[in-house]
């Protein structure tokens, strides 16, 4: 859409980013006259080179270069065990660099212009304004397939209670979560001081209401907060292929956390299938070494859900719990290890 390339002329006079002129960042030739000659040697995404922004924002550029948003190493880490050493090398060359890293690399991808997702780019955020924070855009450009619409209720169900109370992404996720803290992490699980429900809800098990206190005390360390407080179905993606993409439908899944195999939590289906990277000629000899589900912090939290209202939802009806029958077809053999056989509550206890 052409509007994605329109610069708001009112910004030019106000914003110091424009003081040095377009060519300072974008190169090209502002005296070129015609489009082709003006765009010769144009740098479309100047902030792909972190030094561009780092000239002024040096500290942020330094930490950002090591951040998960920039390295996208978490995506590689999540799938690498499925490959043999030779396959992993092929994956790195043919898929990771070409695909995974293509949209996650630049400062401008969040603060100036939406990265193209699925070939569709929305263009400049606000007429080339350097947007510091506008979660509906700066975050939702990339996280708008699953997390963001689940949070706002646009994916179905009710909005997350935190959203209804006026909280947005940056109220829980700190600036250092976006820009990195200078450490090199392999996964978001490793990040120090990452958001946790208990950062605010620190007095669990001390509630005045007896049933609430009992529920929090009994489930502590056994069930995650999401396990009970995720309120609705969330997006599950299926059958992803490098050339054709994936399909999606809503679902609510409870099972053991694949990272510890003992905590019951909300799970999200990973759309990687045995031939996901066939298009690039990359096989996955060790596909079964990882399950098709990862633990997910479902962002549709409510105080009251079917599971907080009645113990029977899980302990008798087993609603949403993974079973052999509900596992994804032709999935990994590791999936069975996530099934949790929940026990009924003994009546006399």
Partner 1 sequence: MGNKSLLLFLAPALFFLLYSSSTIAAGKNNCLVCHTSDATMKLLYKPPAMVASEGEG
Binding site for partner 1 (CB under 8 A): 1-3, 5-9, 12-16, 18-23, 26, 28, 30-32, 35, 38, 116-121, 140, 142-148, 237, 240, 243-248, 271
CB of 113 to partner 1, least distance (A): 13
DSSP 146: T
CB of 108 to partner 1, least distance (A): 15
Nearer to partner 1, 8 or 317 (CB): 8
Nearer to partner 1, 6 or 214 (CB): 6
Nearer to partner 1, 11 or 342 (CB): 11
Nearer to partner 1, 232 or 264 (CB): 232
CB of 322 to partner 1, least distance (A): 23
Nearer to partner 1, 223 or 253 (CB): 253
CB of 56 to partner 1, least distance (A): 14
CB of 174 to partner 1, least distance (A): 19
Contact assessment for residue 269 and residue 328, using Cβ atoms and an 8 Å cutoff? yes
229 CB contacts (<8 Å, ≥6 apart)?
301, 302, 303, 305, 307, 308
How buried is 247 (Cβ within 10 angstroms: 0-12 exposed, 13-18 middle, 19+ buried)?
exposed
Give the whole-angstrom CA distance, residue 330 versus residue 338. 16
Give the whole-angstrom CA distance, residue 46 versus residue 220. 48
DSSP 122: -
CB of 255 to partner 1, least distance (A): 22
CB of 338 to partner 1, least distance (A): 22
Nearer to partner 1, 227 or 271 (CB): 271
87-95 long-range contacts, CB within 8 A, separation 24+: 87/282, 87/283, 87/284, 87/285, 90/280, 90/281, 90/282, 91/277, 91/280, 91/282, 94/277, 94/280, 94/281, 94/282, 95/242, 95/277, 95/280, 95/282
Nearer to partner 1, 117 or 345 (CB): 117
Give the whole-angstrom CA distance, residue 117 versus residue 247. 15
């Amino acid at each position: 859409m052409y509007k994605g390339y329109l610069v708001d002329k009112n910004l030019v006079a106000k914003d110091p980013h424009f003081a040095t002129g377009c060519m300072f960042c974008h190169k090209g030739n502002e005296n070129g006259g015609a489009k082709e000659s003006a765009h010769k040697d144009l740098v479309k995404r100047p902030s792909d080179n972190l030094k561009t922004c780092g000239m002024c924002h040096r500290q942020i550029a330094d930490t950002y270069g090591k951040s998960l948003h920039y390295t996208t190493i978490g995506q590689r880490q999540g799938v690498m065990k499925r490959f043999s050493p030779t396959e992993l090398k092929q994956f790195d060359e043919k898929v990771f660099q070409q695909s995974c890293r293509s949209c996650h690399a630049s400062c401008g991808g969040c603060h100036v212009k939406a990265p193209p997702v699925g070939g569709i780019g929305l263009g400049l955020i606000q007429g080339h304004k350097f947007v510091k924070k506008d979660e509906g855009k700066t975050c939702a450009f990339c996280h708008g397939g699953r997390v963001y619409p689940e949070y706002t209720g646009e994916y179905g169900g009710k909005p997350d209670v935190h959203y209804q109370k006026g909280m947005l992404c940056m109220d829980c996720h700190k600036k250092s979560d976006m820009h990195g803290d200078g450490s090199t992490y392999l996964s978001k699980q490793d990040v120090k001081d990452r958001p946790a429900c208990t950062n605010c809800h620190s007095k669990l098990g001390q509630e005045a209401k007896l049933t609430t206190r009992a529920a929090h005390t009994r489930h502590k360390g056994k069930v995650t907060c999401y396990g009970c407080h995720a309120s609705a179905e969330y997006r599950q993606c299926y059958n992803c292929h490098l050339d054709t993409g994936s399909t999606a439908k809503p679902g609510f899944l409870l099972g053991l956390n694949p990272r510890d195999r003992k905590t019951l939590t909300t799970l999200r289906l990973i759309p990687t299938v045995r031939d996901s990277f066939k298009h690039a000629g990359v096989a996955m000899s060790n596909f079964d070494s990882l399950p098709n589900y990862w633990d997910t912090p479902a962002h549709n939290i409510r105080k009251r859900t079917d599971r907080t209202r009645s113990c029977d939802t899980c302990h008798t009806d087993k609603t949403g719990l993974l079973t052999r029958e509900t596992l994804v077809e032709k999935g990994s053999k590791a999936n069975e290890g996530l099934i949790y056989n929940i026990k009924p509550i003994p009546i006399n206890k």
